[in-house]
Chain A
Amino acid sequence: MEIAERSGLAVLYPSGYLNGATGQQIEQACHDLVRRGYDQILINFGRVDTINTTGIGNLVSVLENVGRRNGVVCFSNLLAPNRQVLDVLDISNAVLIFDEEEQAIQHFARQR
């Protein structure tokens, strides 16, 4: 999974099918990022075509764990069906979701 830094923001690029295995990778990556001092993390789902509920469970864990350390996680570039899944499961209300990665970067830049 590709990880990049953009304007002080850690950006993760998962791809393909987000299931339990991929979800755990994201969880681990976020954990490492927080330990390295990143408190703002963006997960770009532009390359993820399908998300299952196991993967969503991992994402919820990420939100919780990073939140406990006063960090922020946000999502971007979600495909329509994946966005609908998050809406149905009320995850959308618990996380900032941006249409594009640039919007997220600008948002955090304004906050600094």
Chain B
Amino acid sequence: MPAGVAVSGYRTYGRETRPSCQDIHWHAWDRLSHPPVAGRGLSPAGDTLLHGPLGVGKTLFLRRFYWHLFDHQDAEVPLLISIPSQPFRPVSWATRFVFEVVQQWVAFARRSVDLAQANLLPLASLQDLCYAERLAPLAAFLAEMHHRDTLHQAAGGGAEEGAQLIQWAFDELEGLAVQKNQPLHLLLDGAENAHWTEAGQSLYLTRLVSRAEASGFPHASQPEQTAVRRVWTSRVSPQTWHPLLPPLPDVSNLVALDPLHGQAAQDFFEQLASSAHVDYDATVFARHARLWGGIPRWLANFAHGCAQAKPGSLILDEEFLNLYLEDLCNGASARDIQQALYPPAEALIEPLLMARVLQNCLMAESPRYGGASPLPPEEQQALVRLARSGLAVCEGGQWRVAETPLLRDALEMYVARLLHGESPERRRLVLKRKRLVETPTTGPETGDIAQRLRDTALLLSAFRGQEVRAQLFRTHERGLSVAEKPVPLTQAATLSRRAAPAHQASGLAEASQAARGALTQLPYCIGAFTEQAAGAATSAWVVGWCFDGTEHYRSDEQLWIVVLCDVPVLTSEEVARIERIAKRQSLDLDVKRTRVWILSNARYSPEAAERVETLGFLTSTWSDFQTLGKQLFRAPGREPAAIEPADAKLHAPALPSASPSSLDQPIDPDSVFEMPTGKMHDQPAPRASAVSVPILPPRPARIVPLGQSSAMESTVELRLSPRDGMELVAAKTIEELALGNGFSEEAAQQLRMAVLEGCLNAIESSRNAEKEICVQALLTDEKCCVVIENEGEVFDPQKVRENDGERHPFKRGRGLKLIERFMDRAVFEPFEHGTRLRMEKRKPVRGQADASAANRPGAKSS
């Protein structure tokens, strides 16, 4: 078998993986590649018709399936044939068809991908290959056909001759298939084009369509074992197949490739945008996605346009709209539509007429066109042609056009330009005004989710570093029927202390761990919440940048991604989406480890439950979440919470530790605590008896120790008032120290610049002139560690990066860049009252270039 064959996706954007037709039409793929009836090969019995509108990805799908057959089976000979929509001479096409078929057959016999992908080989080469593969009948046939073709061409080569040639070719191919005991698997792209109009639409390529009788295949005891199987693609569905169209293939399997809807379209676009490095606002995109009607190729075109026109980010409605209109005027979407409007044969009907007919369909008050009064013949003919392009459909004798806003707008622009001579610019303005005035309606907002997002952020921030019972992050309750309810937390806690059969009966996946006292730790530190996004109407997520160790080393870095899903049933599709969110956040924020926590009351499908368990996601219900809050708030010594509104500064009170024996205490369900809803005051006083959660030692209010001490180390601590110019004092002091400690001049200067910028940030973030900035430096034989701590506004480097180039194109982010480049490690760590910057620079070894840090591309702060 050859190595896997690469088949391109919708577009080739960069080198990243991109969504493929196999991924987005997975249901159709499963149906084709895993047919319910087991035949000789991989394909289902009988002919199959893949139908879907223009641009939905039928051709790519068929090509992918071709390579799938090519790679993964030996029983059938896969042959991919395209029937072009452009005018073609029947005999020439038939000749090309035969050559292509023979070449692909030889390629399959030789297992040569290159040969299959090559353009048509010369006749002599192809004949040699046929002889080499013991396909002598094909070689002889090629020679004879070439001779006849020359004669036919000399005589004009009409449709009848072409049809005869196809007939003859099929007789030969079927004969060889029977002889070789290898059925043909024809993949025919463009069924609607499979007729030759010169002969008054009577000469349909009948031999491409399966015959009802058995093919005479020697082992054809089963009905599905015929010498030729076919998969067709067509823009026209059998339900809307008009009598004036070519005959419908005799198909027994219908597979619809539909446009993408809702979240699927958004996910598809997200992957395309990610490949093209386009940052966009998902909520804004969701409003505009409907304009594209979920047609993958148009979405891909748009993503491509985004990448070209707006390399950075795409956030505003108007930016989307501009690009959308640009694409309609000049982009590939417009070309797709215009190409579809041109008649395939000679220009019997003006494209403009077809456009007008289409526009009539769209603009008419009644969505139907035709019906009671017969249409003029030319319009009827135009509609038939449009139906072949999939732009118009006939239902019950009435014509209609697929309601795709993109199509509607494109036609409006097309007609305006061709019919009224109106400039595209003018029409653009009209459409733009219309779109902007008709503000797209937003999806159903779930205030509940937004509120819970704030609560989650508060909870994680206020209770960082604590250990909680594992069952508070319950995994999916497997094995429960729909009628059964999840086991209450109190019962689960009781069960978890008993023997194994009890918790097995409860169905709690983590109960066995809980029985051993397993704990799950909340992260030690929640950094600034870098994103709080409503991904869709039914889900949202919040990302916390955290550490699971007190030292805040980069190796301890992890992301907590809390996803809130408001769906009745959580399926593997949702889990896959959550996986993608986590991966993307991990890549964007350059943090390798992620912890995903799904908050949802949904029931999990078996596949989703399995996937969640495999991936190790934490899963909780809303009530679990509330109980978690209760337990944390009711810890001993816990002061009444005084949580400010979600957007205000968070205060994490000092929390004493609890003894391990406290784990055995039962969880008291009778709590009056409710999770904060943005503002919470007057919490009940803690009760000493309700100990269930061990509390880690409080975080110190001042700078934590810098690391291991050595005899050669020197330290300095400076307290500076946050005034301009004080940064220079700190920077020069530390530079002098570094020079005295054996740092090279260049390294010391880099250190100075980093400290200077760190202090500048601190001064900028300190709003109160009475609060001091504390700079502590520790110099050892190996490195220099610097901590700069200030009280005041929490500094979020991620926000600076996001804003860089947008709102403050020339003012922000440079200091961060210098720190990243000049230091070996830099971490911004928010604490209760402000921000702490930890930096580290190793002493360069003598003889090495001191500028290594500055040249190191991977240097990154968090």
Please state if A50 and B752 are interface contacts (CB–CB under 8 Å).
yes
Q: Does A61 contact B (CB under 8 A)?
A: yes
Please state if A50 and B750 are interface contacts (CB–CB under 8 Å).
no
* Residue of A whose beta carbon sits closest to that of B732: A50
Interface stretch, picked from A2-10, A66-74, A80-88, A102-110, is A80-88
Q: Does A60 contact B (CB under 8 A)?
A: yes
Please state if A53 and B724 are interface contacts (CB–CB under 8 Å).
no
CA–CA, A61 to B728, complex, Å? 23
Please state if A84 and B810 are interface contacts (CB–CB under 8 Å).
no
Q: Does A19 contact B (CB under 8 A)?
A: yes
CA–CA, A99 to B793, complex, Å? 41
A64 partner residues in chain B, CB cutoff 8 A = 810
A112 to chain B, nearest CB (A): 31
B724 touches which of A20, A50, A89 (Cβ 8 Å): A20
CA–CA, A81 to B760, complex, Å? 18
* Residue of A whose beta carbon sits closest to that of B855: A88
Between B727, B728, B814, B851, the greatest number of chain A beta carbons within 10 A of the residue's beta carbon is seen for B814
CA–CA, A21 to B727, complex, Å? 14
A88 touches which of B728, B752, B756, B817 (Cβ 8 Å): B817
A21 touches which of B724, B728, B757 (Cβ 8 Å): B724
A: number of interface residues (CB 8 Å):
19
A85 touches which of B727, B731, B753, B851 (Cβ 8 Å): B753
Please state if B854 and A53 are interface contacts (CB–CB under 8 Å).
no
A57 touches which of B731, B756, B810, B822 (Cβ 8 Å): B810
A57 partner residues in chain B, CB cutoff 8 A = 810-811, 814
B814 partner residues in chain A, CB cutoff 8 A = 53, 56-57, 89
Given A17-B725, A61-B810, residue A89 in contact with residue B756 (CB < 8 A): no
Question: Can you name 21 A-B pairs with beta carbons within 8 Å?
Answer: A17-B725, A17-B728, A19-B724, A20-B724, A50-B728, A50-B756, A52-B727, A56-B814, A57-B811, A57-B814, A60-B810, A61-B810, A80-B746, A81-B746, A81-B752, A81-B753, A84-B749, A85-B753, A88-B818, A88-B821, A89-B814
* Residue of B whose beta carbon sits closest to that of A90: B817
Q: Does A15 contact B (CB under 8 A)?
A: no
A52-B815, A61-B810 given; name 6 further pairs at CB < 8 Å. Answer: A50-B731, A52-B757, A52-B760, A53-B757, A53-B760, A84-B854
Between A19, A52, A54, A60, the greatest number of chain B beta carbons within 10 A of the residue's beta carbon is seen for A52
B822 to chain A, nearest CB (A): 8
What is the predominant secondary structure among interface residues of chain B facing chain A?
A: helix
Q: Mark B745-777, 1 if CB is under 8 A from A, else 0.
A: 010011011001100100000000000000000
A84 partner residues in chain B, CB cutoff 8 A = 749-750, 851, 854
Q: Mark B789-818, 1 if CB is under 8 A from A, else 0.
A: 000000000000000000000110011011
B749 partner residues in chain A, CB cutoff 8 A = 80-81, 84
B811 partner residues in chain A, CB cutoff 8 A = 57
* Residue of A whose beta carbon sits closest to that of B761: A53
Please state if B818 and A85 are interface contacts (CB–CB under 8 Å).
yes
CA–CA, A53 to B851, complex, Å? 19
B727 partner residues in chain A, CB cutoff 8 A = 52
B818 partner residues in chain A, CB cutoff 8 A = 53, 85, 88-89
CA–CA, A54 to B749, complex, Å? 18
Question: 8 closest pairs, A vs B, by CB?
Answer: A53-B814, A81-B749, A53-B815, A60-B810, A57-B811, A88-B821, A89-B814, A17-B728
B757 partner residues in chain A, CB cutoff 8 A = 52-53
Please state if B760 and A54 are interface contacts (CB–CB under 8 Å).
yes
CA–CA, A84 to B756, complex, Å? 15
What is the predominant secondary structure among interface residues of chain A facing chain B?
A: helix
Within 8 A of A (CB), among B527-556: none
B: number of interface residues (CB 8 Å):
23
B800 to chain A, nearest CB (A): 12
CA–CA, A108 to B33, complex, Å? 72
* Residue of A whose beta carbon sits closest to that of B727: A52
A76 to chain B, nearest CB (A): 20
B725 partner residues in chain A, CB cutoff 8 A = 17, 19
B760 partner residues in chain A, CB cutoff 8 A = 52-54
Within 8 A of A (CB), among B619-642: none
A19 partner residues in chain B, CB cutoff 8 A = 724-725, 728
* Residue of A whose beta carbon sits closest to that of B759: A52
B753 partner residues in chain A, CB cutoff 8 A = 50, 81, 85
A17 partner residues in chain B, CB cutoff 8 A = 725, 728
CA–CA, A57 to B434, complex, Å? 41
B746 partner residues in chain A, CB cutoff 8 A = 80-81
B756 partner residues in chain A, CB cutoff 8 A = 50, 52
CA–CA, A21 to B728, complex, Å? 14
* Residue of A whose beta carbon sits closest to that of B822: A88
B815 partner residues in chain A, CB cutoff 8 A = 52-53
A56 partner residues in chain B, CB cutoff 8 A = 814
CA–CA, A60 to B276, complex, Å? 30
A54 partner residues in chain B, CB cutoff 8 A = 760
A45 to chain B, nearest CB (A): 15
Q: Mark B837-858, 1 if CB is under 8 A from A, else 0.
A: 0000000000000010010000
CA–CA, A81 to B746, complex, Å? 7
B728 partner residues in chain A, CB cutoff 8 A = 17, 19, 50
* Residue of A whose beta carbon sits closest to that of B749: A81
CA–CA, A57 to B731, complex, Å? 20
Q: Mark B725-736, 1 if CB is under 8 A from A, else 0.
A: 101100100000
Within 8 A of B (CB), among A34-55: 50, 52-54
B821 partner residues in chain A, CB cutoff 8 A = 88
CA–CA, A107 to B396, complex, Å? 81
Please state if A89 and B817 are interface contacts (CB–CB under 8 Å).
yes
CA–CA, A81 to B749, complex, Å? 6
A66 to chain B, nearest CB (A): 14
Q: Mark A14-25, 1 if CB is under 8 A from B, else 0.
A: 000101110000
CA–CA, A41 to B725, complex, Å? 27
Given A52-B756, A53-B814, A61-B810, residue A88 in contact with residue B854 (CB < 8 A): yes
CA–CA, A85 to B854, complex, Å? 10
CA–CA, A81 to B727, complex, Å? 17
B817 partner residues in chain A, CB cutoff 8 A = 88-89
CA–CA, A61 to B821, complex, Å? 23
B851 to chain A, nearest CB (A): 7
CA–CA, A64 to B810, complex, Å? 10
Within 8 A of A (CB), among B569-615: none
B184 to chain A, nearest CB (A): 60
A30 to chain B, nearest CB (A): 15
CA–CA, A6 to B513, complex, Å? 81
B857 to chain A, nearest CB (A): 12
CA–CA, A52 to B822, complex, Å? 14
CA–CA, A52 to B761, complex, Å? 11
B806 to chain A, nearest CB (A): 16
Within 8 A of A (CB), among B677-700: none
CA–CA, A19 to B757, complex, Å? 11
CA–CA, A61 to B724, complex, Å? 21
CA–CA, A54 to B757, complex, Å? 9
B851 partner residues in chain A, CB cutoff 8 A = 84
A55 to chain B, nearest CB (A): 10
CA–CA, A56 to B822, complex, Å? 17
CA–CA, A24 to B811, complex, Å? 13
A14 to chain B, nearest CB (A): 15
CA–CA, A89 to B854, complex, Å? 11
* Residue of A whose beta carbon sits closest to that of B810: A60
* Residue of A whose beta carbon sits closest to that of B728: A17
B751 to chain A, nearest CB (A): 10
Between A20, A53, A61, the greatest number of chain B beta carbons within 10 A of the residue's beta carbon is seen for A53
B239 to chain A, nearest CB (A): 60
CA–CA, A52 to B757, complex, Å? 7
* Residue of B whose beta carbon sits closest to that of A57: B811
